[in-house]
Copies of this chain bind each other. A is one copy, B any other.
Amino acid sequence: MASNTIPARELPKAVDLSHHLNKLSRSRGGSPLKHLFQCLPHPSLFPYQQLDLKVYASDAKIMPGETVHSSVDISLPQYASTNQTNTLSKAIQYCSGRGSPALTSLFRDFTSKFMRPGYADWDLLLNSGSTDGWNKVVGLLCEYGDYIIVEEHTFPSSQSLWAPMGCKGVPIKMDKDGMIPEDLERVLDKWDETHPGVKRPHLLYTVPVGQNPTGATLPFERKQAIYDTCVKYDIIICEDDPYYFLQLPEYVPLHERKEDSKVVENDTDLMKTLVSPFIHIDHQGRVIRLETMSKTLGPGNRLGYFVCNSFFAERLVHATEVVSQAPCGWSQAIIEELLKHWGQDGYIRWLLGVRENYAIRRDWICDIFHEVFDVIPAGMEHIDDFLALAKGHKEDPQAIPFFSFSYPKGGMFIYVKAYLSQNPEFKALQASGEQEPDRVWTEAFWTQLIHEDKILLTPYWFYQPIVATGEEQKKEPDVAFFRMTFSYESREDMLLGIQRLAKAFKRNWQIVD
């Protein structure tokens, strides 16, 4: 087995982490008689007689832009016939806050085999997707005003939840491989010095694979080092991992690429190519893993699950009873049937297919970068691997790089870092004494891109963690970031967009060919 897993061993039990609960979840009791209050509407009064769903066969070859014909039929009757455990009258009835036992059991088997949690008594519990999941994690652990450890470029929706609670982010430095463990250690070591009298953070939020917005994927050694630091400082890790199965193979430039270079054919191969999750390293039960169907079976399912210690899981069930009741019955029933039809092997084949699609899309955008810009290796002073210059400027030692980037190894994003020190408009802003020249330049450029070039990027300030006033926001000078996504557009539109972008860069940098 590759070095990205932990050798087989006798699994310990979770340690007591109950002191992490906030006051609300401490006060929240579940009712052992919950089923008593529930008034069940009569299932003969649900107007659904039969559901038939045509879905892709698990071995369907899905390729960008192609129609898939291979399919299987899923059928759910209104009431049970022989051996039919999943029926509409059951799916559309009230269900336990834990979710359907059958579906939970399928996910348990899957988690046991592919995530291999590092302790014995882990638990699994459905939720209504990762937005709901993260809301419940913050509801479980955080008090108003808490500090939450985040990546220095962080997923904005996750902080939109805690920011109104007066919570603050503790940004940890990143490079192309994601959060830097040494910076986490440094921040926590110096906490009492830098934040005298302030409650220490006890929750770390991370998107470890294909991070949003940077696209970074944490290598195994970093996960291990981050986990160890969290043990040392008693921190709970929330691993929000929607792109886990979208860990992409290395990008191979077009002229070196071989057809049919696919090496992942089955689940053993797959496991070798994937960096194991935090929950696999976790030997104490301090990781709460958020798994979602959104990127692999569709966001409209609003279905995901927690993997965490059983003490937290029990509290999360109590929260579910009053916050959301249960995930939607249609999603639960449909996904249960889909996974039963596909089987575990088929589900893995499906995930491999999705991964292959995003790999092709990632290749498209990287190929187009090579086509539209001069791409050269970046020097040691750059955190990214490559620099993009105006076409024809590769050999010019005075050439100004527009931006740096790395080939994404996961997810759906490229986060490009623009270098502004030689940009005339930016220099004019600096000369004028503007306090935030990078922000003003970015806003102007971003608006130009929309109006003149019909390109919509996401500018970096969406991803800036909200920190306490007066706290050092260690921002690098003379740079700006933009997020691009390669998940959606066709290759033609991607090319068109990036050609326009190159034109806009040249215009803005006043480069004349």
Residue ranges of A at the interface with B (Cβ–Cβ < 8 Å): 24-25, 27-29, 31, 33, 36-37, 39-56, 60, 62, 64-65, 68, 71, 91-95, 128-129, 131-132, 135, 155-157, 160-161, 163-166, 212, 294-303, 321-334, 338, 350, 353-354, 357, 361, 412-413, 456, 458, 462, 485, 487-488
Contacts and interface: CB of A to CB of B under 8 A. Distances in A.
Nearest to A361: B42
B157 A47 contact: no
Contacts of A68: 44, 49
Contacts of A412: 39, 41
B53 A51 contact: yes
Contacts of A353: 45
Given A92-B298, A324-B128, A53 B55 contact: no
A485 B334 CA distance: 31
Contacts of A323: 131-132, 135, 161, 323
B93 A299 contact: yes
Contacts of A95: 300
B53 A325 contact: no
A157 B51 contact: no
A327 B328 contact: yes
A47 B36 contact: no
Contact of A329 (B51, B60, B301): B301
A56 B49 contact: yes
Contacts of A56: 47-49
A406 to B, nearest CB: 18
Contact of A350 (B29, B47, B163, B350): B47
Given A24-B164, A37-B156, A302-B326, 15 more contacts: A24-B165, A28-B164, A39-B487, A40-B488, A41-B412, A44-B64, A47-B297, A48-B56, A51-B54, A52-B54, A93-B298, A132-B325, A300-B330, A302-B329, A330-B334
B55 A71 contact: no
A298 B297 CA distance: 24
A49 B45 contact: no
A106 B347 CA distance: 37
A471 B387 CA distance: 71
Given A128-B324, A156-B31, A322-B161, A301 B92 contact: yes
B92 A300 contact: yes
A326 to B, nearest CB: 7
29 contacts: A28-B164, A31-B156, A36-B456, A36-B458, A37-B462, A39-B413, A39-B487, A40-B487, A42-B357, A47-B55, A47-B297, A47-B350, A49-B68, A52-B54, A91-B300, A93-B298, A93-B299, A129-B325, A132-B324, A135-B324, A160-B322, A299-B325, A301-B330, A302-B325, A302-B329, A303-B328, A323-B323, A328-B328, A328-B330
Contacts of A25: 164
Contacts of A350: 47
Given A298-B92, A485-B39, A487-B39, A52 B52 contact: yes
A33 B324 CA distance: 26
Contact of A41 (B54, B413, B456, B487): B487
Contacts of A354: 45
Nearest to A52: B52
Nearest to A30: B160
B131 A128 contact: no
A62 B41 CA distance: 14
B331 A328 contact: yes
A94 B45 contact: no
B301 A37 contact: no
A164 B353 CA distance: 46
Contacts of A330: 300-301, 328, 330-331, 334
A144 to B, nearest CB: 8
